[in-house]
Amino acid sequence: MFTKKRYAIWKKCWQRIGGPLKGSMSNWKSFLLKQTLLAVLLATVAAAQQNAETKPTELELSQRLIAALERENAALKQRLDTEKTSNELLTELNETRKSEAESLRQTIAAKNEALAAKDAVIAAQDSLIASLKQKKTSVWKRIGDIAIGVIAGAAIR
């Protein structure tokens, strides 16, 4: 009897609030579903607020971009300075090579002149040898040279 009375009270309460009359289990499931959805909703809102707080503002983003562009600009200036220095060094090297090539040409010309002069000396000596071979002395001239040598040797003693 007590159970019937309790069930009747429970039934009237649920009718007033518009709850289901079937059983308490389906009502309990919908209650858990509502609680779970509420918990998910609150967690999503909290995550969104946290992201909004950690999300950088447009000013911070533009400052980061400006800093990155300044670093890139500094790197480009350094590269330009390096390129200018290397260009100057390469120009100096090119001029040095040109002057070295010119001095080598002059050295080769001087060597060729020296060889030509040696060839001229050799040719002159060859012509002198040829002329001396053609020029034969007479026997009387040789005897006279020997006599002069003997007289000079006797006079010195």
Residues 40 and 47: beta-carbon distance below 8 Å? no
**Residue 35 counted as domain residue:** no
**Residue 140 counted as domain residue:** yes
Instruction: Say yes or no to pLDDT of 10 above 90.
Output: no
Residues 56 and 63: beta-carbon distance below 8 Å? no
Average pLDDT over residues 4-31: 60
**Residue 120 counted as domain residue:** yes
Torsion angle defined by CA atoms of residues 138, 143, 145 and 147, in that order, rounded to the nearest 10 degrees: -160
Residues 21 and 11: beta-carbon distance below 8 Å? yes
Question: Is the pLDDT higher at 27 or at 117?
Answer: 117
Residues 49 and 55: beta-carbon distance below 8 Å? no
pLDDT per residue as tens digits for the range 119-143: 999 999 999 888 877 777 777 887 8
Domain count across the chain = 1
**Residue 85 counted as domain residue:** yes
Instruction: Say yes or no to pLDDT of 37 above 80.
Output: no
Q: Structural domain of residue 69, as residue ranges? A: 46-156
**Residue 138 counted as domain residue:** yes
pLDDT per residue as tens digits for the range 74-133: 999 999 999 999 999 999 999 999 999 999 999 999 999 999 999 999 999 999 888 877
Question: What pTM value is reported for the model?
Answer: 0.41
Question: Which of 1, 25, 21 shows the shortest CA–CA distance to 10?
Answer: 21
Separation of alpha carbons 103 and 114, rounded Å: 16
| 19 DSSP assignment | -
Instruction: Say yes or no to pLDDT of 16 above 70.
Output: no
